[in-house]
Amino acid sequence: MPDRYVLIGSNVSNSPTPNMMNAAFRAMGSDAEYDALDVDATLLDTSFAKLKSSGVSGLNVTIPHKATIISHLDSLDEVPRSIGAVNTIKKVGSGYRGFNTDVDGVLQPLKSRGISKIRSAFVLGAGGASRAACKALYELGCRELTVLTRNIEKTSEFISFMSSALPKAEVKAAPVTEPTAGAPELIFNASPVGTWGIPLPAQLLPLLEGRPIVFDAVYLPVETELIRHATERHCITIHGHEMLLHQGAKAFQIWTGSSPQVQVMKTALLQSIGVEAGC
C-alpha cells in the first residue's frame, strides 16, 4: 500500500496543495498519495484518531488546527515547541512528531530577493501563520514586532507567548483599525484581511507610503487587496503562493528525506490557482 499524506483543515477540499505535492511525489518516482480532508474544529479529535489508526505517513495542518493539534502529538520539533504552532506532522516509529515549515515558507521568498535583514515589522493576525512569521522575521534580526488584530483583548496571551519565544524582540499589539505610528520595514498579512468579503481597513493604507516590503500569506485571490495597493505604491511584494510552495517543499523533505523538484511543484501550484508559469 502506498504511503498516504493528508492536508487537514477547515474548507480545504479545493486546496491546490494536493496537486502540488502529488506532482512532487510523481517527479520522485513515488506512488505516495496526498489528499485533503475537511476537518471542523469540533471534529479534530476523532478525525486525527482515525488517520492515526489508518497509519497515515504524514499530514499538513492548516486553519484552525495549528495550535490545537499539538496536544494530540507524541513529540515536537524545536520550532513548533518554541512558537506553539504545527503545520507538518510525520509518523516516526509508532508516534507522530510535529514540525513547522511555515517559517521556511516565509524565509525563502525573502532570501530569494536578497533580503537577509529586517529591523521592524507589522504582522496582521494572531494565529498560527502569525507565529511562524514572527519567528522567521526574528531569525532575520527583526527586534520590533507589532501585531495588528481586530480584537486586542484576545491578543494578550499571544503577545505574552511570543515575547517569551522571541526574548530579544519587543512584541506589542495594536488594533488593525488604529495601527501605531511608524514606518515598518515589512508588513506581513497572516490574516484573511483583504480577501473576498473581508475589506482591507483604510487605516492601513498610509503605512504603504513608506514603501515597505509587503508579504501576504493569502494565496487566493492571487492578487489580494493589500498586494494591489502595495504594487500601486511600488513596494516589493511577495504573494502567498510563494509561501505555500516553500513550506510544502520543506514538508516533503521532512517526510521523505529527499529534496523535491521545486520547479515541478511550482508549475503544478501555479496551474492550480490559475497563474501562468514563470510568475
111 lies in some domain: no
3-state secondary structure the chain: CCCEEEEEECCCCCCCHHHHHHHHHHHHCCCCEEEEEECCHHHHHHHHHHHHHCCCCEEEECCCCCCHHHHHCCEECHHHHHHCCCCEEEEECCEEEEECCHHHHHHHHHHHCCCCCCCEEEEECCCHHHHHHHHHHHHCCCCEEEEEECCHHHHHHHHHHHHHHCCCCEEEEEECCCCCCCCCCEEEECCCCCCCCCCCCHHHHHHHHHCCEEEECCCCCCCCHHHHHHHHCCCCEECHHHHHHHHHHHHHHHHHCCCCCHHHHHHHHHHHHCCCCCC
- The reply to whether 9 and 77 lie within a common domain is yes
Residue range of the domain that includes 43: 4-100+242-273
Same domain, residue pair 34 and 13: yes
Same-domain pairing of 251 and 225: no
**Mean predicted confidence (pLDDT) in 3-27:** 97
96 and 9 within one domain: yes
In a domain, 198, yes or no: yes
- Together in a domain, 27 and 120: no
Do both 125 and 217 map to the same domain? yes
Partners of residue 216 on adjacent β-strands: 189
Sign for the pseudo-dihedral over CA of 26, 22, 103, 165: negative
pLDDT in tens, 62-95: 999 999 999 999 999 999 999 999 999 999 999 9
**One domain for residues 133 and 222:** yes
Q: Per-residue pLDDT averaged across 114-119, rounded?
A: 97
| 125/63 same-domain check | no
pLDDT computed for residue 198 by the predictor = 87
Q: For residue 197, what pLDDT is reported?
A: 80
| Residue 22, in any domain of the structure | yes
Q: Is the pLDDT of residue 271 over 90?
A: yes
Q: Which three cell numbers stand for residue 146?
A: 507589532
- Tens-place pLDDT, residues 178-197: 877 678 999 999 998 877 78
Based on the fold, state whether residues 13 and 94 are members of the same structural domain. Answer: yes
Between the two ends of the chain, the Cα-to-Cα distance in Å is: 37
- Residue 74 sits in the same domain as residue 168: no
Structural domains of the chain, count: 2
Res 180: pLDDT: 74
CATH number at residue 260: 3.40.50.10860
pLDDT in tens, 128-178: 999 999 999 999 999 999 999 988 888 999 999 999 999 999 999 999 888
- Which residue is catalytic, options 50, 66, 90, 250? 66
Q: CATH number of the domain at 180, please.
A: 3.40.50.720
CA distance 234 to 215: 13
Q: Is 117 a residue of the active site? A: no
pLDDT computed for residue 277 by the predictor:
58
Region of 241 please: left (phi>0), alpha (psi -120 to 50) or beta.
alpha
pLDDT tens, residue by residue, 204-240? 999 999 999 999 999 999 999 999 999 999 999 999 9
**Does any domain span residue 107?**
no
